[in-house]
Amino acid sequence: MLKYVIKRILMIIPVVLAVSFIVFFIMDFVPSDPAVTALGDGATEEQLEYYRETHGLNDPLVVRYVRYMGGILHGDMGTSYANNQQVWDLFFAKFPNTLRLAVASVVVTVVLSIPLGVIAAVKENTWVDTVCSTLSFIGLAMPNFWLGLLLIMLFAVNLGLLPSTGADGFASLILPAITCGTGNMAALTRITRSSMLDVLKQDYLRTARAKGQSESKIITHHAFKNAQIPVVTQIGIQMSTLIGGAVLTERVFAWPGVGAFLVDSIQKSDFEVVTGFVIMLAIFVSIVLLIVDVLYAFMDPRIKAQYARS
Amino acid sequence: MKLNGKNGKSDTNLEQIREKTDLAVSVENLVVHYETSSETVEAVNSISFSLKKKRTLGLVGETGAGKTTAMLALMNMVPNPPGRIIEGEIRVNGLDMRKLTPAQLQHVRGSEIAMIFQDPMTSLNPVLTIGEQIGESILLHRNISKAEALKETQKLLERVGIDPERYGEYPHQFSGGMRQRVGIAIALACNPSVLIADEPTSALDVTIQAQILQMMRKLKEENDTSMILITHDLGVVAEMCDDVAVMYAGHIVEYGTLEEVFNKTKHPYTEGLFNSLPNINNRVEKLQPIQGLMPDPANLPKGCAFAERCPYASEACRENPPETHSFSDTHLAACTAYQDPDFRIGRNK
């Protein structure tokens, strides 16, 4: 088992190398000159050339790539062209906010979707099923920014209960998490429902019923335990997407996260930031997927046995 | 009757509504249908039978005859929807299973009546250890601590021939035969007085079959259990059963003691079953299967369901449902041909 985890951690390395090279390669094609971004339109050709020479921008692509990756190992991802701050510092100033919002959103999604999906499956093809599925779609049907604005109007402006913007403490997390979390409900409810429907047909539930076990325990203890894997996979996928930043939600609530900042940097052609951020995000998404893989082993002993063999 | 269950209240309730009887199981005119929007499958059509205490009843018939459905009905466990018990009276140890509340049913299931299922590869929960699955039964019906339940579980494992130290292992770590032993341990966990075994050996290798049957018989005798054994293997019936009910298309077509059904066979279908057995003394002889197929239970004929395949069938058989004739106090056959007092079937094996 430990061997498997170590193997999976090592497998992150080639993924990160590939992602970083692709990002680096694409950024090289972008028709924009970092020297112009840094020095402004008024700079002379000599000043620009001097900037390029001193920052190593004239070296071949591969040389620059190797130098860049060497820097990352020391926590150096270059400086932002736009404001001269260290990209590393910028990332780790923004990322905790993104992570907090992502975790809170996933909690909202999970708490709402799993009961809805389980109930929909147990009451398959009845009006209860329809109600649960419809509820789960509400979040998807309402655009994020619109729901966010409605929530701000109600809870921040009219009731004055919660802050409308910023990231100060738990209270400011509530509205963005609801906005973001409800958008993912439909997918997770569907997956939970279909996974439970598969399990509810299984013979071992009949065995549990024949023992005299109650229906509610059969569903929570026997059935759901077997339906978890697709559900956790979906949660992992949603977590990965959220780590990349929930741009619209961040914009509406002025949430200081990675996503909105990354979009700004692209608009400003601040490619040192874009490259650094995308590489770091690739690393964190890989970590999330690794955690999901390891969780499988705790949910299904057959997978654990497989991991132990591999 | 044990009075040490967790649901102390429903226990006393059960004693109030329990009828005094010598029968472990009695079923009267049981009808079970599976109803979907497009069709109604008549799985069990008005069957009646009873099981005396400590005896074993063999329920014989081909796949789709309604054997399993009838037994699920006995525990009031027909999957609904689409299944529904239309009518009939089902009594287990004098309790009217159709009138019990869900809580009372949960109390009776597992402690008074338990079931061993056909396929041990699918009837155990893959993500729970076998110890948890056996112990669950014990904890549900007996008021004991987890540590005591574990001890009981280990004792049970020993009784069914599994190393008690393996209680923490998962089903996938066991072979089919071993898993069926776990299934038996689950069913026997609370010493039920009635045990239903649904083809307990048909998914197993022949060599394992004999071991499992032998063990079941031993455990049954130790615990004074009454048993209903579903099978399509006449050899197993001869080995294990006191009484036999032969089912065809949702009806019991012949019912009697082992001796009566095997040696004084009356129903043409039972005859067909015996005739289709391979002859061990004459290995070159061709098999003689019953011609044709069982009718679709969603579309049963108005007359005798076996008429299309029956060598003795007359026009009357196709027109009217078969009459039941009794040949002794215990021996019944549902066959119109016995209107003619001289009618004899011609069993050749």
Domain extent listing, chain A: 2-84, 88-309
A197 close contact with B: CB closer than 8 A: no
Quote the pLDDT of residue A43: 80
Quote the pLDDT of residue B1: 40
Count CB neighbours of A37 within 10 A.
17
- How many CA atoms lie within 13 Å of A212's alpha carbon, on the beta-carbon side? 31
Quote the pLDDT of residue B8: 44
- Cα distance between residue B179 and residue A209, in whole Å: 18
pLDDT band at B2 (very low <50, low <70, confident <90, very high): very low
Give ∠ CA B181-B183-B184 in degrees, rounded to 5: 65
Strands B251-257 and B243-248: antiparallel
- Cα distance between residue A268 and residue A38, in whole Å: 10
3-state secondary structure of B278: coil
B192, closest residue in chain A (CA to CA): A211
Q: Read off the pLDDT of each residue in B173-181 and give the average, rounded to a whole number.
A: 88
**What is the architecture of the domain spanning B8-265?**
3-Layer(aba) Sandwich (3.40)
Quote the pLDDT of residue A105: 93
Quote the pLDDT of residue B347: 65
Q: Is residue B5's pLDDT more than 80?
A: no
Interface test with B, best of A206, A211, A309 (most B CBs within 10 A): A211
CA distance A221 to chain B (A): 9
Which residues does chain B have within 8 Å of residue A305's beta carbon, measured at their own beta carbons?
Answer: 172-173
Lowest-pLDDT range, B174-178, B208-212, B264-268, B337-341? Answer: B337-341
Which residues does chain B have within 8 Å of residue A303's beta carbon, measured at their own beta carbons?
Answer: none
Give ∠ CA A79-A83-A86 in degrees, rounded to 5: 30
Cα→Cα distances A75→A83, A90, A91, Å: 18, 12, 11
Instruction: Please list the ranges in chain A whose pLDDT falls under 50.
Output: none
Quote the pLDDT of residue B4: 43
A299 close contact with B: CB closer than 8 A: yes
B135, closest residue in chain A (CA to CA): A211
- Structural class in CATH, domain A88-309: mainly alpha
Give ∠ CA B156-B95-B7 in degrees, rounded to 5: 60
Which segments within B15-142 are labelled E, that is strand? Answer: 23-35, 40-52, 56-60, 83-92, 95-96, 113-116
Interface test with A, best of B125, B141, B180 (most A CBs within 10 A): B125
Give ∠ CA B66-A222-B117 in degrees, rounded to 5: 30
Quote the pLDDT of residue B98: 86
Contact A226 B108 (CB under 8 A): no
User: Considering only CA atoms, which of A51, A98, A59 is closest in space to residue A79?
Assistant: A51
Strands B332-334 and B251-257: antiparallel
Cα→Cα distances A84→A24, A28, A40, A48, A92, Å: 20, 20, 13, 16, 16
Q: Is residue B6's pLDDT more than 70?
A: no
Give residue limits of the domains in chain B: 8-265
ipTM value for the complex: 0.84
Q: Is residue B340's pLDDT more than 80?
A: no
Q: Which of A206, A300, A305 sits opposite B117 (nearest CB)?
A: A206
